[in-house]
Amino acid sequence: MSKGKLAVLAIILASVAAFFIFDLRQYLSIEYFERQRAAIEAYRAAHPVEAVAAFFAVYVVATALSLPGATILTLPRVAVLRSFVMNHIIHHRAQLGVYLRLNDVAVPSIYGPSADEGIF
């Protein structure tokens, strides 16, 4: 394992240990946020930009640590680009085909003959 991976693993383990040692679970409960609601709303009213930045930072961290996102991003870049781009192109080609059929326009052959060309 490389030094960078070991450093990341050490940070994660230290964070998990600190979470349990300092009983930080109490700050992530619904009851805690209900008790602190007035203070949170007062802070948001007094510092709107900082409140939005804090919300965005928490959102980014939560999204970055999600399993589905991590699974997709561990694929090789070529596979990710190919699947995203090709799926997007296929989506728009199918959308165009439906649009043309709804307007009674013959769908042109894209990858071989179309059913509208009458050769079937």
- pTM value? 0.40
Give dist(CA 34, CA 28) in Å, integer. Answer: 11
CA gap 116, 51 in Å, rounded: 57
| Confidence (pLDDT) at 77 | 64
Four-point Cα dihedral 108, 109, 114, 119, nearest 10: 100
Render pLDDT for 59-98 as a digit per residue (tens, 0 to 9).
Answer: 777 777 765 655 655 667 667 677 777 888 888 888 888 8
- pLDDT, the chain, mean: 82
- State the Cα–Cα distance between residues 120 and 115, nearest whole angstrom: 7
How much is the CA Rg of the chain, to the nearest whole Å?
26
